[in-house]
Chain A
Amino acid sequence: DSGVTQTPKHLITATGQRVTLRCSPRSGDLSVYWYQQSLDQGLQFLIQYYNGEERAKGNILERFSAQQFPDLHSELNLSSLELGDSALYFCASSTGRSGGYTFGSGTRLTVV
């Protein structure tokens, strides 16, 4: 157990729907990162939050949004889902400094 908890582990939904992925960071970590992993693109950075505020944005689609709550857990919202959104979504947390992150075990999203 890495200490980063992601729920649900698996999610199957239809095109056009909206889903919410949840992440609880390691105790003491203020920074949360979201990544998408697909077979053709590899791991792609989506967005980072630090202590409740958005810190950096990567290749995140406008249909996707995220937030970090006062208890530091984070949610990634994916809307108007398309088949191409099927992927593994990972959350990672860190102290917010330069050190390597700790990743959760991911949510496997399948859009049908």
Chain B
Amino acid sequence: QKEVEQDPGPLSVPEGAIVSLNCTYSNSAFQYFMWYRQYSRKGPELLMYTYSSGNKEDGRFTAQVDKSSKYISLFIRDSQPSDSATYLCAMSNSNSGYALNFGKGTSLLVTP
């Protein structure tokens, strides 16, 4: 069993919809939680970074972490065709030098 599980999708939504992306994990030692966006096998781009439990908002993006349930989410409001990409969750802890454990990514398609 992988430490980080993520539904690969694909997920297809109409423009303007609210998108919900999720990951579960098994390692309770994870402290830092991130979401990356990756276009067409380019380098992943950091979208959101959260430490421990709680919510964080940045523009149209909201990240939520629930450590008690070992569950993290990314919400995208007013989704745009330019949001079409693969979204990767990632997490780390200080014990492993902050090496990131990634989910396999969810492929998102926003249709006009």
Contacts and interface: CB of A to CB of B under 8 A. Distances in A.
A18 interface: no
B98 to A, nearest CB: 6
Given A98-B94, A99-B49, A42 B102 contact: yes
Given A97-B98, A98-B31, A42 B105 contact: yes
Given A98-B31, A98-B32, A45 B45 contact: no
Interface string A1-29: 01010000000000000000000000000
A105 interface: yes
Contacts of B60: none
Interface in B21-38: 31-32, 34, 36
Interface centre among A43, A48, A56, A97 (most CB of B within 10 A): A43
A91 to B, nearest CB: 9
Interface string B87-100: 01010101011111
A50 interface: yes
Q: Which of B36, B42, B44, B92 has the most CB of A within 10 A?
A: B44
Q: Is the interface of A mostly helix, strand, loop or mixed?
A: strand
Interface string B37-53: 00001111110010100
Given A45-B101, A58-B99, A101 B46 contact: yes
Interface in A81-96: 88, 90, 94, 96
Contact of A102 (B32, B46, B88, B94): B46
Interface string B51-94: 10000000000000000000000000000000000001010101
A88 B38 CA distance: 13
B97 A56 contact: yes
Interface of B: 31-32, 34, 36, 41-46, 49, 51, 88, 90, 92, 94, 96-105
